[in-house]
Structure 1
Amino acid sequence: MSEYWFNIRTHEVEVDAQSDWSQLIGPYETRAEAEKGLEKVEQRNKAWDDDDE
């Protein structure tokens, strides 16, 4: 089964992590989840910031 990764530098989805790990977030089970990877990170960061206040 393939894993999908979101590359934060190129904003492309990669299958089975082809780039350097420092540029990737994931893994995700589907391409659709990976495509929203950066959006999910931003939502989590905002939630954590709100909790800190």
Structure 2
Amino acid sequence: MSDGQWWFCLKHMRVEPDQGCPNKDRLGPYATEQEAAGALQRAADRNKSWDEADEADD
């Protein structure tokens, strides 16, 4: 069990504990395994929000 550090590995497309792939291949850290599992959706939602904000500024 991890000490609260969870990551989403972009290379293997899975959640990993602290001991895993190099950080350059991961998103995180997250406090829970569930949060890490939602990393790609969270990134997509943020990107969409930022794109909409940029369009509103133009």
TM-score, with length taken from structure 1: 0.89
Q: Percent identity?
A: 36
Shift of 1:2: 3.1
Q: In structure 2, what is the equivalent of residue 13 of structure 1? A: 15
Q: How does 1:6-45 map to 2 (within 5 A)?
A: 6-45=8-47
Q: Which has the larger radius of gyration?
A: 2
Unaligned runs of 5+ in 1: none
Cα-to-partner distance string for 1:2-50 (whole Å, 9 max, x where unaligned) = 3000011211101004112111001111111100011100100110000
> 4+ runs of 1 displaced by more than 2 Å?
none
Secondary structure (helix, strand or coil) at the match of 1:10 reads coil
> Alignment length, in residue pairs?
53
Distance 1:23 1:29, change over 3 A: same
RMSD: 1.0
CA distance in 2: counterparts of 1:2 and 1:18, whole angstroms = 14
TM-score, with length taken from structure 2: 0.83
